[in-house]
Amino acid sequence: MNGDPVLEIDEGWWGWIRSKIPPPGLRRRLLAIGALILVVEAGLGVRLWQLQVLRGEHYRELADHNRVRLRRLIPSRGLAFDRFGRVLVENRPSFDVVMVPEDARRPASVLAQLEELVDTDLPDARKSVALRGSRSPFEPVVLARDVERETLVQVETHRLELPGVSVHVGPRRSYLYGEELAHVLGYLGEVSPTDLRDREGYRMRDTIGRYGLEKQWEDWLRGSAGGQQVEVDAIGRELRVLHEVSSTPGANVFLTIDVDLQRAAFRALEGREGAIVAIDPRSGAIRALVSRPAFDPNRFSGGISQKEWSALVEDPLRPISDRALQGQYPPGSVFKIVTAAAALEEGVVTPFTKIFCGGRIKFGRRYFHCWRRAGHGWVDLHDAIVGSCDVYFYQVSQRLGVDTIADFARRFGFGSETGLAIDHENGGVVPDTGWKRRNFGEPWYPGETLSIAIGQGYITATPVQVASMMATVAGGGVRRRPYLVDRIETADGAVVRPSQFEEQSVGLRSSTLTQLQLALRDVVNAERGTGRNGRLENVEVAGKTGTSQTVRLRKDDAEPGEVPRAQRDHAWFAAYAPADDPEIAVAVLVEHAGGGGGAIAAPIARKVLERYFAIPPRSSGDEG
Amino acid sequence: MKVEPRSPQIDWLFLGFLAAIVAAGISTVHSATWKPGGDGTSAIALRQGLWTTVGVVVMLFVAAVDPRRIERSAYAVYGVVLGLLILVPVVGFIGGGSRRWIDVGFFALQPSELMKIALVLAVARYLQADEPLAGLRFRDLGVPFLLFGAPAVLILVQPDLGTTVLLGLVFASVLLMAGLRLRSVGLAVSVAGFAAFWAGELVWSQLKPYQQRRILTFLDPEADPLGAGYHVIQSKIAVGSGMVWGKGYLEGTQNQLRFLPEQHTDFIFSVFAEEWGVVGCLLLLTLYAGLILRGLQIASRSNDRFGAIVAFGILATIFWQMAINVAMAVGLMPVVGITLPFFSYGGSSMVTLFLGVGLVLNVSVRRFLFLKPGRR
């Protein structure tokens, strides 16, 4: 370092030359800094000596076979329970035989040995082993999934002859009610590249909910993964766990569904395509949600084959689609409840106003028919509902106009999703003048209002919406949001997401409500009622039938058997019971029934109600 | 009075050390990213070479700039870089779990890298006034602390704990060198600690859960055996398995089989250690020591305080980065994402470091000394 002094030079504005005399401490400081540098470097050097010379052999050994492996601990997925705590889906252990080719050294021959041992050919395994180029090193290849106990025993006892081969226990999702709860619970699938990109905590080949509850509540059900650092020996067997972070199990979901009722409803719809929805009108809790045809979600648990998946997707009866929530159908005569409510509220008729039904009316240049060719004669509102007179409602609709009807329809929940927390709901269509203009560019023609009044034409609804409407009437004119999930609990029972209710009054006068309720009661119980097939012996049922046409202006004279399936009417029946203090509301839809609501749908609803009232409420389930 | 202009003095020894380190670096990057059976040099190594060339050009340019201009623009440079840092949370993009970069078309600009230089410039500028004979007192440090604190907080919330700590070490080193009194050091440390704690509390509550989780992993990597803890174990295995003579160039099995995560960036030293053993490592450490010590000599010969402090600050940056990175690789420190200077792959890091070296060279290349004409 230079210590010679130089002339002191004027500072001033140009004088940026500073004195060259080092400040007193500088030399000392620089020496200290130099020493610090050497000390730090020496420290690093010592550490290097320790790792590379003193423990070099040990690390060389670990490196040679990468003896320290990472193992991920998959969290146990949350379960689902029904309202009485009966388990609906669980995780059962599945044993997979895996191989780490690097440990096996000659993977092909080890595989051959395995095949001989278990006396089976494993062509898929051979393929996987051959294709192992694109894997991470030391990642296991699955040879056989979900093997039988005997295979398991064979592999375990012959471990020494099968280097690199081991048995891996994994969870497999088991749906205890199979098809019966398929659309509600959903199924699992493998994560997609999009999921991997957008969501945290997933690795390749993890499972993720793909449909239904499994998908909607994935974040709750999944839990979080843990991990282990494991030291293994030369053939890949675990020696010891060096470090572990445990996984957090997923939370359990408690549904409002009553699985006994669900099963009864599913069986009641046997041989048919359609949906059944049962709601408790006091709260909005869904007690049963059935869609047929269905599929077996257990087929997805091990990974579904391409062939099977294609078969499901291409099936013309669309088993994957959830008719209860997604199916949009013209509601037919069950919609008359809305029209009637609108008529009374708006005062266009009184309960005593009589209108004559002769079997048809003329509007413009067309005739609009009543389903009863002979007509109903003079009918008031009560009679019109009981007999499901179309003409009465045609007349009423002209006095109301489509926009008013649409308004009441929306108040009852039609036209938009109910907000049920399942991912795949549709909202149906409630047309009005604005809607027609937006979608067709045409004005609304008054003749179309007549169709709307009886639930035909552009208007469509889902079975859950119809059930919800019925529950609203049963529940005193208060619309309660239907919900499926009662609460979510962690593995140790702490409630993390309690029930969430939502309700809103439809705004009906109590006199209107009473009129409706009395009429609905007589639909089922009076002699002329169209819903007599829904009648129960010891419980009074109230309800409404509906038959919605799929094709306009087809021949009414044709016999049901002669009409092609796609042209057959849908059959509806919506009901609640007991009529004076309702506990349950049910909607049944039978697609392309080949018969009316009263004939086809009502008996199905009756079976469901029978089951409901045969079981007294209890707090825990012990029969499946 | 005019002083003879000295001929430009290029410090060849300094450049020699640097060249050796850079060469070793590029070849190690090649080893870390080369695919066996692949054709020729790895693309990443070539890119590293490209950035090195750019860096050398920048270095020469900076070395030739009039030092007065550097001094005059110190605060302006600091202001610009601080502005860029503020822009990061606004327009920056996220990579590898934190938001540090701004996309400038064909490359990604990392303002926190530039701040290493800018902070040194600004602090040097502030401290260039003659130090009082008794040394700087704590109370003189108000502005420097602000100069440090503002970017430190911005970088901390990216989140980038490593660079923040590095900045702190460099800042402290510069202060010490600039003459901070020893007893003031104690006071400074406690105030800094308190301020950091208080600011940390504030900042922590503003962070989102996943950001908090990442910082916790930074602080305790053992809590995440699937993440950083695994890196360290694999790194130690790589380093240790080098033994005395190493496995030979391109023969590192940990590296070739891709067990070392981030092997061309954070853990490049492990790759080197596996291939060259303790002999190679000690040699490399010696090269770094040589570079730094020679640089200190340059700094001490400087005629002006500003240049000396700047040079010192740059050298401190290089030293601490090296020390932290190697400590990380051998398991003496948790993984904090600091790269090995002139070694790890990284364009903006390379260019920034060369810029810094240019500033050091600038000091050694002082050409003219002159004064206002006419004065006696």
Higher pLDDT, A252 or B34: A252
Q: Does B296 touch chain A (CB under 8 A)?
A: yes
CA A613, CA A603: separation in Å to the nearest integer? 15
Cβ neighbours of residue B332 under 8 Å, at least 6 residues apart? A43, A44, A47
Q: Choose, out of B212, B267, B288, B300, the residue to mutate when testing the contact with A (most A CBs < 10 Å).
A: B300
| Closest by Cβ to B289, choosing from A1, A24, A37 | A37
Residues 98-137 of A with CB under 8 A from B: 136-137
Q: pLDDT digit string (tens) for A235-294?
A: 667 777 877 778 889 999 999 999 999 999 999 999 999 999 999 999 999 999 999 999
Q: Across residues A479-483, what is the average pLDDT?
A: 93
- Cβ separation of A70 and B230 shorter than 8 Å? yes
CA B347, CA B209: separation in Å to the nearest integer? 31
Q: Could you tell me the pTM of the whole model?
A: 0.66
| Contact predicate B278/B241, CB 8 Å | no
- Cβ separation of B243 and A53 shorter than 8 Å? yes
Model confidence band, residue A12 (pLDDT cutoffs 50, 70, 90) = very low
The mean pLDDT of chain A is 84
User: Chain B contacts of A45, Cβ < 8 Å?
Assistant: 281-282, 285
- Locate the chain A residue with the closest alpha carbon to B68: A16
| Contact predicate A142/A128, CB 8 Å | yes
Query: In Å, how far are A87, B326, B337 from A258, measured between CA atoms?
Result: 11, 63, 55
CA A381, CA A395: separation in Å to the nearest integer? 12
Q: pLDDT digit string (tens) for B48-59?
A: 888 899 999 999
Which pLDDT belongs to residue B19? 93
Which pLDDT belongs to residue A512? 93
Distance from CA of B198 to the nearest CA of A (A): 30
| Contact predicate A289/A184, CB 8 Å | yes
Cβ neighbours of residue A277 under 8 Å, at least 6 residues apart? A286, A288, A289, A290, A324, A463, A464, A466, A467, A482, A586, A587
Distance from CA of B50 to the nearest CA of A (A): 30
Q: Does B281 touch chain A (CB under 8 A)?
A: yes
- Contact pairs from chain A to chain B, CB under 8 Å: 166
Q: Choose, out of B222, B231, B243, B318, the residue to mutate when testing the contact with A (most A CBs < 10 Å).
A: B243
- Locate the chain B residue with the closest alpha carbon to A12: B372
- Cβ separation of B241 and A56 shorter than 8 Å? yes
Higher pLDDT, B15 or A127: B15
Query: Residue for token digits 């081969």?
Result: A165
Which pLDDT belongs to residue A4? 45
User: Chain A contacts of B289, Cβ < 8 Å?
Assistant: 37-38, 41
* Among candidate residues A392, A385, A442, A412, the one with its CA nearest the CA of residue A505: A412
CA A423, CA B364: separation in Å to the nearest integer? 70
| Closest by Cβ to B371, choosing from A14, A56, A245 | A14
Distance from CA of A459 to the nearest CA of B (A): 47
Which pLDDT belongs to residue A183? 94
Q: Does B90 touch chain A (CB under 8 A)?
A: no
Residues 143-182 of B with CB under 8 A from A: 173, 176-177, 179
Q: Across residues A382-406, what is the average pLDDT?
A: 94
Q: pLDDT digit string (tens) for A407-452?
A: 999 999 999 998 886 778 898 999 999 999 999 999 999 899 999 9
Model confidence band, residue B309 (pLDDT cutoffs 50, 70, 90) = confident
ipTM of the complex: 0.81
> How many alpha carbons fall within 13 Å on the CB side of residue B97?
17
Residue A293, preceding peptide bond in cis (omega within 30° of 0): yes
User: Chain B contacts of A58, Cβ < 8 Å?
Assistant: 240
Distance from CA of A523 to the nearest CA of B (A): 58
Q: pLDDT digit string (tens) for A173-186?
A: 999 999 999 999 99
- Cβ separation of B277 and A52 shorter than 8 Å? yes
Higher pLDDT, A296 or B127: A296
Known catalytic residues of A?
333
Beta partners for residue A254, in sequence order = A81, A487
User: Chain B contacts of A44, Cβ < 8 Å?
Assistant: 285, 323, 326-327, 330, 332
Q: Across residues B256-284, what is the average pLDDT?
A: 78
- Locate the chain B residue with the closest alpha carbon to A44: B327
User: Chain B contacts of A68, Cβ < 8 Å?
Assistant: 233-234, 237
B313 pLDDT above the threshold of 80: yes
Q: Across residues B162-172, what is the average pLDDT?
A: 88
- Cβ separation of A12 and B375 shorter than 8 Å? yes
Q: Across residues A611-621, what is the average pLDDT?
A: 61
Which pLDDT belongs to residue B374? 39
User: Chain B contacts of A243, Cβ < 8 Å?
Assistant: 222, 225, 229
Q: Across residues A220-245, what is the average pLDDT?
A: 78
